[in-house]
């Protein structure tokens, strides 16, 4: 249905996609009964954040979300009632930041850039560990405001920042026993873009979004209509630049893609300019390929070179065990560039000891290569690569 036709009040659980599509999406869905293979422009009025915690950590989640929102308001001088905050009716809180602040426009494959943007905004805040990153895909659902969660019998309700900071979770739950109107948020039409936030969005557009080779090849085979050529060409150029492709090959790939557009421009100079811009912004951050990138890191790292053989084996095992895609563990999402392992398992796999594994991880953390946290069951570690090593997996 039309996004503005969603009901303000429903009985029972109710969700919608936060993405908006053009009419062609509805026609595609009616024909195929699925949206999984649809490729077209999409838009969202808000950048969504979903912060969840277990029963024992919900007060902590509430406090960290408050610090996150307050921090954004102060850092970027955002009008206070422009960011919308909700108690989800269950495990956590939703935060919606108007995309108008970023001058966000409809794009193909928008969701990957949204994830990069969301991670850059939450970076450095304690709330980052509670962010559900799985929502940044093409068909994620978000609970409708003032719909009831049948498991908790509580409603998803809007709350104000001062309530998030001063009320306990128990007090917020009392308010959530019934629907609630939001009469304080600033209407979207009254908001204007923010120069610093526009810069963050532009950085997200040229970042490595982690699209697979197959996805990029698929996108190169699908033309786009007039009005989306430039933004799509730029997105494809960034994806190719992150794969270390040379300018000549990039222009050739994009020329073949342009021939499928409706209509094609059949002109090379605009593609050459886009390729040059993409290569300039990506620069030498892009590895030619992951293996060569790892070799470069090892060759240029005096720290890794100084590790004893036993600790170097531990380092190699850490690299080999790191996730190249997100997966679930005990209800938590363990993202790419992270791994779950115990010191004992790490020592065994490296054919060394638990103490050597522990000391190697300590050195890597001290050097700024890794961060560490304990899993919810307190039986293992979640290790996450930082800096240049993180780029191997993203």
pLDDT digits (tens, 9 = 90+) for 48-98: 999 998 878 899 999 999 999 999 999 999 998 999 999 999 989 999 999
Residue 10, pLDDT score: 73
Instruction: Indicate if the alpha-carbon torsion angle 120, 204, 327, 337 is positive or negative.
Output: negative
pLDDT at 298 over 80: no
Closest C-alpha among 92, 214, 108 to residue 143: 92
Closest C-alpha among 231, 364, 383 to residue 322: 383
Instruction: Indicate if the alpha-carbon torsion angle 345, 351, 352, 358 is positive or negative.
Output: negative
For range 106-124, the mean pLDDT: 92
Q: Are 129 and 221 in contact (CB under 8 A)?
A: no
pLDDT at 210 over 90: no
pLDDT in tens, 3-12: 778 777 677 7
Rounded to whole angstroms, what are the CA distances from 364 to 306, 311, 315, 371? 12, 10, 9, 8
Return d(Cα 377, Cα 188) in angstroms, integer. 43
pTM value? Answer: 0.72
Confidence bin at 287 (pLDDT 50/70/90): low
Structural class in CATH, domain 3-199 = alpha beta
For range 369-383, the mean pLDDT: 85
Within 8 A by CB and 6+ apart from 373, the residues are 129, 381, 382
Q: Please tell me whether the peptide bond between 263 and the residue prior to it is cis, using omega within 30 degrees of 0.
A: yes
pLDDT at 284 over 70: no
pLDDT cut 70: percent of the chain above it: 96
Task: Tell me the three state secondary structure of residue 364.
Answer: helix
Within 8 A by CB and 6+ apart from 282, the residues are 206, 208, 238, 241, 242
Structural class in CATH, domain 290-390 = mainly alpha
Residue 325, pLDDT score: 73
Closest C-alpha among 54, 51, 57 to residue 69: 51
238: Cα within 13 Å, side-chain hemisphere: 19
Within 8 A by CB and 6+ apart from 297, the residues are 304, 388, 389, 392
Residue 258, pLDDT score: 96
Domain boundaries of the chain, sorted by first residue: 3-199, 207-285, 290-390
Least confident of 190-194, 223-227, 281-285: 281-285
Q: Which tokens sit at 273?
A: 């300019």
User: Per 3-state DSSP, what percentage of the chain is helix, strand, and coil (rounded to 5)?
Assistant: 50, 15, 35
**Which own/partner pairs from 180-189 qualify as long-range (CB within 8 Å, at least 24 positions apart)?**
180/146, 180/155, 182/84, 182/145, 182/158, 184/81, 184/160, 185/81, 185/82, 185/84, 185/158, 186/79, 186/81, 186/82, 188/45, 188/98, 188/100
Confidence bin at 232 (pLDDT 50/70/90): very high
Residue 245, pLDDT score: 81
Confidence bin at 289 (pLDDT 50/70/90): low
pLDDT in tens, 191-209: 999 999 999 999 999 998 8
Closest C-alpha among 336, 367, 353 to residue 116: 336
Task: Tell me the three state secondary structure of residue 368.
Answer: coil
pLDDT at 253 over 60: yes
Report the mean per-residue pLDDT for the chain: 89
For range 312-335, the mean pLDDT: 82
pLDDT in tens, 151-201: 999 999 999 999 999 999 999 999 999 999 999 999 999 999 999 999 999
């Amino acid at each position: 249905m039309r996004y503005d036709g969603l009901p303000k009040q429903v009985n029972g659980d109710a969700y919608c996609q936060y993405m908006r599509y053009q009419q062609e999406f509805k026609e595609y869905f009616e024909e195929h009964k699925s949206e999984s293979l649809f490729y077209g422009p999409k838009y969202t009025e808000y950048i969504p954040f979903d912060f969840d915690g277990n029963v024992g950590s919900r007060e902590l989640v509430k406090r960290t979300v408050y610090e996150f929102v307050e921090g954004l308001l102060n850092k970027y001088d955002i009008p206070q009632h422009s960011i919308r905050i909700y108690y989800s009716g269950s495990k956590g809180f939703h935060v919606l930041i108007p995309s108008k602040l970023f001058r966000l426009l409809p794009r193909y494959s928008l969701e990957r850039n949204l994830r990069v943007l969301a991670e850059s905004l939450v970076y450095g805040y304690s709330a980052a560990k509670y962010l559900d990153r799985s929502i940044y895909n093409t068909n994620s659902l978000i609970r409708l405001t003032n719909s009831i969660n049948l498991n908790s019998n509580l409603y998803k309700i809007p709350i104000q920042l001062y309530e998030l900071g001063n009320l306990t979770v128990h007090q917020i739950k009392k308010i959530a026993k019934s629907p609630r109107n939001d009469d304080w948020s600033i209407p979207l039409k009254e908001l204007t873009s923010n120069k610093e936030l526009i810069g963050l969005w532009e950085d997200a557009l040229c970042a490595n979004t982690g699209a697979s080779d197959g996805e990029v090849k698929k996108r190169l085979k699908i033309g786009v209509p007039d009005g989306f050529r430039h933004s799509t060409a730029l997105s494809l150029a960034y994806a190719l630049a992150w794969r270390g492709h040379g300018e000549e090959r990039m222009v050739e790939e994009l020329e073949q893609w342009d021939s499928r557009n409706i209509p094609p421009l059949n002109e090379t100079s605009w593609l050459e300019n886009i390729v040059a811009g993409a290569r300039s912004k990506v620069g030498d951050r892009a590895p030619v390929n992951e293996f060569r990138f790892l070799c470069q890191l090892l060759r240029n790292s005096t720290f890794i070179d100084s590790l004893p053989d036993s600790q170097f084996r531990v380092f190699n095992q850490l690299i080999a065990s790191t996730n190249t895609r997100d997966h679930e563990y005990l209800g938590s999402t363990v993202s790419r560039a992270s791994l779950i392992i115990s010191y004992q398992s790490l020592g065994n796999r490296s054919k060394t000891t638990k103490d050597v594994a522990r000391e190697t991880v300590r050195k890597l953390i001290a050097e700024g290569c890794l961060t560490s946290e304990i899993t919810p069951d307190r039986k293992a570690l979640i290790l996450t690569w930082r800096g240049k090593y993180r780029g191997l997996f993203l």
